[in-house]
């Protein structure tokens, strides 16, 4: 069920046709609450948002947020009502985000820093941050 009262900037079909390669779609409890994490901490560019949906991009990567209520007709929708963190077992990595600055922005914004900035054997300097729903992002730069 959609809560939006106006027409979006693009129809779902029009926006869907702009996607290619890998895009990430996260189902969140509150789209508006989540936007500052994605725009201020991860520095994604907000293309559009309303209370049902938000679309972001950065260097060719596309990420969308859909509110729980927009998935009410899915067979697994009841699981969205569980009071648990989401995203366990998936870590989304974004290369090209200054990890020291991102960690500071996360702390300043009251977001969770799961792993502070460090240099890793896999050749990245990164930190692991958590959005308001529990999705984790490793952001950093190559060493």
All structural domains of the chain with their residue ranges: 12-142
- Structure letter (DSSP) for residue 70: G
Q: Using one digit for the tens of pLDDT, what is the confidence trace for 78-114?
A: 888 888 888 888 899 999 999 999 999 999 999 999 9
Cα(7)–Cα(131) distance, integer angstroms: 27
What mean pLDDT, rounded, does the chain reach? 90
% residues pLDDT > 90 (the chain): 67
Can you tell me the distance from the alpha carbon of 2 to that of 74, in angstroms, rounded to the nearest whole number? 14
pLDDT at 80: 83
Which two structure tokens, joined as six digits, stand for 103?
A: 């960690």
Tokens of 8: 């979006």
pLDDT of residue 39: 98
Tally the C-alpha atoms within 13 A of residue 136's C-alpha that lie toward its C-beta.
14
Q: Are residues 68 and 27 in contact, defined by beta-carbon separation less than 8 angstroms?
A: yes
For residues 23 and 57, the answer to whether their CB atoms sit within 8 Å is no
Which residues share a beta bridge with 16? none
> Looking up tokens 């240099």, which residue turns up?
119
The pLDDT value recorded for residue 138 is: 96
Look up residue 78 and give its DSSP letter: H
pTM of the complete model: 0.86
Superfamily of domain 12-142, CATH level 4: 2,3-Dihydroxybiphenyl 1,2-Dioxygenase, domain 1 (3.10.180.10)
**Per-residue confidence band for 76, with pLDDT thresholds at 50, 70 and 90:** confident
The edge-to-edge listing of strands for the beta sheet with 61-67 is 23-28, 61-67, 53-58, 45-49
- Which burial class, exposed, middle or buried, applies to 59 when counting CB atoms under 10 A from its CB (0-12, 13-18, 19+)? exposed
Distance CA 41, CA 89 (A): 21
């Amino acid at each position: 069920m959609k809560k939006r009262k106006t027409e979006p900037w693009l129809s779902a079909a029009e926006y869907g046709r702009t996607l290619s390669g890998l895009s990430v779609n996260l189902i969140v409890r509150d789209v508006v609450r989540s936007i500052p994490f994605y725009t201020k901490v991860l520095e994604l560019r907000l293309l559009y948002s309303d209370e049902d949906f938000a679309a972001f991009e950065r260097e060719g990567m596309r990420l969308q947020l859909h509110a729980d209520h927009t998935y009410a007709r899915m067979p697994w929708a009841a699981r969205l009502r569980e009071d648990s963190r989401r995203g366990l077992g998936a870590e989304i990595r974004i290369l090209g985000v200054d990890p020291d600055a991102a960690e500071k922005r996360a702390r300043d914004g009251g977001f969770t820093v799961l792993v502070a900035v460090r240099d890793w054997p896999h050749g990245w300097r990164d930190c692991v941050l958590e959005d308001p729903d529990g999705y984790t992002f490793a952001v950093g730069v190559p060493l």
